[in-house]
Amino acid sequence: MSLDPARLAPMANAIRALAMDAVQAANSGHPGMPMGMADVAAVLWSKYIKFDPKAPKWPDRDRFVLSAGHGSMLLYSVLHLTGYSHPTIGEIRNFRQFGSPCAGHPENTHLEGVEATTGPLGQGLAMAVGMAIAERHLNAEFGDALVDHRTWVIAGDGCLMEGINHEAIGLAGHLKLGRMTVLWDDNHITIDGSTDLSTSEDIRARYAATGWHVVSCNGHDTADIERAIDEALADPRPSLVACKTIIGKGAPNKQGTSATHGSALGEAEVAAARQTLGWSYPAFEIPADIYADWNATGDRGNAAHSQWRDRLKASDRATEFTARMNGELPQLHDWAAYKAQVAAGGPKMATRKSSEAALDVLTQDIPALIGGSADLTGSNNTKTPSTGPLTAENYGGRYVYYGIREFGMAAAMNGMALHGGIIPYGGTFLVFTDYCRPAIRLSAIQHVRVVYVMTHDSIGLGEDGPTHQPVEHVQSLRMIPNLLVMRPGDTLETAECWEIALNERSRPTVLALTRQNLPAVRHDASENLCAKGGYRLRGAKAGRRVVLVATGSEVELALNVADTLEGQGIGADVVSMPCTELFDEQPDAYRADILPRDVLRVSIEAGTTFGWERYTGLDGLRIGLDHFGASAPAEVLFEEFGFSVEKIMPKILAKLG
Ligand SMILES: Cc1ncc(C[n+]2csc(CCOP(=O)(O)OP(=O)(O)O)c2C)c(N)n1
Ligand SMILES: [Mg+2]
């Protein structure tokens, strides 16, 4: 079927008009990209994207990601015109105003139809790779009848220029994600001007070298766009469709220049654009026949959806599939027994090993768990017998070898979680959270359940030295809102932290885990005490004058310090604080009981002390590491840097006076 160019032109102009008028009304925003890609969008939704505005979340819809998130008005226009209940025209009029779901950049929490929060360039495309992985995996598991959709991306020059693009397309090419199509807004313009200012790269050659199919088209010739997309769909590889466009197309004096990128066109230019486009309607008014043509684009998806519903009804796996897509956890058969066994005691163990032991059980019971590591599988202990490799030959596997692509891994995990049906976890060294921090931040903004398994969490990793030893990382991750940062102190706490992370449906978690062995510090699994964030691990025996608050590997040290204090008749509580965020959410009375003000409060954590004043008070004592580590065996480093009973005792005694 070929589309009718005469019908597509006014449909595209409706996007152009809404974009330039909304940006003009807000006097803020980006008209150039929506105006430039309007023709491509009209073709894409008219013929290709499978969507149902009446049921925006049905699991077998195509996923569309606007990676060039600054062009948000393109997406808002399409959602409105195709008949999603939101955004309304009123909400579009309020583009970029407080309370409007039409935020400056698309936010997945604001509108159905916005599959991912985008704006940080490059990450949208990288998340789409995760969505495409999720689709193939669930297809392998549930079959064509239930899972059979595509992933579409609109990306700009910026998305392709960012470093993460290399990681993302490398992974997609390797995994042969042929159902992924990227439409590149090849307009030769970025904010500073022509792309000639900053790049001479042969993007087509780079994509081809990475295992992608590449095709070009004139992004303003709808028949040519159609030809190119048809070719992309026919090719088994993931496809890059280079759409040669003019940024701000339709604004007669500004099109083709960066002036249209990120500011209102101005009243005069908007009026001139109306002339040029032959668009005689007032701002925010769309003629009924154009609405009707846009609305009709949803008919294909609506029909596909109803056929899919029939197939779901007929499927003997309907309940399982629906629960899975709803993100529900199945019954955990062996978990309680596992925790009881751990509480009974065991050998000294690194918490990365404790995490592996927990994952052994959890991956057996929870098929949605898809693991992976950025080339540190043996160090992160992320692979279990239940998770075979997920490869181009076997998408049914449950372990992704992400390669040395930390940022790409984190973004792909966001995409998998956004897709639904998958709970992704992935590992690297904690110090390299810096390499994926922008995606961790997007996990938090997007409220997705992603678990970061970050091992080698302090100087305790030893000989690899300061480049590999996290110092500021735990504390700096705690600063990210809506992110749980957990530093468990033994095998039981690690199990509890995993349990919390998996039950958190709208928050990501970072697990900070040790390389070095730790003894068991708790032997009662009757209540998940980590869920309180911090709890009294051991109460003072003598009159309490000190509360020691420690996390992770330093809990053992705190217990030893407490023993020594008690030996001198000084009562000391030991508080284990695996997760400050959860502790902060406890009632005042609980927190006051755990951290009383009338005693000396001492924090012990092998990381920056910055921020621990919140728990020790300014008059408390903070034992930490406010400088980089060194290359030496772990025990030597702990001793040298003051993490020993002998070095801590005099500081406490001096404070007690
Ligand atoms: C990671 C990141 N860096 C910088 C920006 C700021 N920024 C927004 S759009 C843009 C230029 C993008 O150029 P292009 O993708 O070609 O978009 P176009 O101007 O063609 O619409 C920049 C630098 C951003 N949003 N994200
Ligand atoms: Mg551009």
3-state secondary structure of 329: coil
Q: Which ligand is nearest to the CA of 35?
A: 1
| Distance from the alpha carbon of residue 76 to the mean position of ligand 1, in angstroms | 19
Query: 564-569 long-range contacts, Cβ below 8 Å, gap at least 24?
Result: 564/645, 564/649, 565/649, 565/652, 566/540, 566/541, 566/542, 569/542
Name residues of the chain where pLDDT drops below 70. 1
Distances (CA, A) of 49 to 42, 65, 260, 422: 11, 11, 28, 23
328 part of the active site: no
| Single pTM value for the model | 0.98
Residue nearest to atom 8 of ligand 1 (CA): 70
| Distance from the alpha carbon of residue 189 to the mean position of ligand 1, in angstroms | 10
Per annotation, catalytic residue among 406, 496, 499, 556: 406
| Distance from the alpha carbon of residue 158 to the mean position of ligand 1, in angstroms | 5
Per-residue pLDDT, 527: 97
Residue nearest to atom 23 of ligand 1 (CA): 191
Q: Which ligand is nearest to the CA of 261?
A: 1
CA atoms of 299 and 482, how far apart (whole Å) = 38
Residue nearest to atom 9 of ligand 1 (CA): 70
Residue nearest to atom 16 of ligand 1 (CA): 157
- Name the token pair of 348: 């000294």
CA atoms of 650 and 657, how far apart (whole Å) = 10
| Distance from the alpha carbon of residue 121 to the mean position of ligand 1, in angstroms | 6
CA-247 nearest atom, ligand 1: 20
CA 71 to chain centre: 21
Judged by phi (left if over 0) then psi (alpha if -120 to 50, else beta), residue 397 lies in beta
CB 185 within 8 A of CB 156: yes
DSSP states of 8-32: HHHHHHHHHHHHHHHHHHHT-S--H
Distances (CA, A) of 139 to 126, 144, 503, 644: 20, 6, 25, 54
| Distance from the alpha carbon of residue 53 to the mean position of ligand 2, in angstroms | 29
CA atoms of 105 and 195, how far apart (whole Å) = 23
Residue nearest to atom 25 of ligand 1 (CA): 120
Q: Which ligand is nearest to the CA of 188?
A: 2
Residue ranges around ligand 1 (CB below 6 Å): 32-33, 68, 70, 119-121, 156-159, 185, 187, 189-191, 247, 261
Per-residue pLDDT, 1: 65
Q: Which ligand is nearest to the CA of 33?
A: 1
Distances (CA, A) of 420 to 133, 325, 327: 11, 5, 7
| Distance from the alpha carbon of residue 150 to the mean position of ligand 1, in angstroms | 26
Pocket test residue of 190, 194, 258, 263 for ligand 1, highest count of atoms within 8 A of CB: 190
CA-261 nearest atom, ligand 1: 19
CA atoms of 138 and 148, how far apart (whole Å) = 9
Pocket test residue of 16, 20, 66, 70 for ligand 1, highest count of atoms within 8 A of CB: 70
CA-32 nearest atom, ligand 1: 21
Per-residue pLDDT, 199: 98
Burial class (CB in 10 A: 0-12, 13-18, 19+), 311: middle
Q: Are β-strands 189-190 and 193-194 bridged in parallel, bridged antiparallel, or unpaired?
A: antiparallel
CB 96 within 8 A of CB 26: yes
Go through the chain and tell me how many residues it has. Answer: 657
Q: Are β-strands 451-455 and 180-186 bridged in parallel, bridged antiparallel, or unpaired?
A: unpaired
Burial class (CB in 10 A: 0-12, 13-18, 19+), 191: exposed
CB 421 within 8 A of CB 448: no
CA atoms of 61 and 134, how far apart (whole Å) = 13
* DSSP designation for 529: G
Question: pLDDT digit string (tens) for 491-511?
Answer: 999 999 999 999 999 999 999
CB 188 within 8 A of CB 168: no
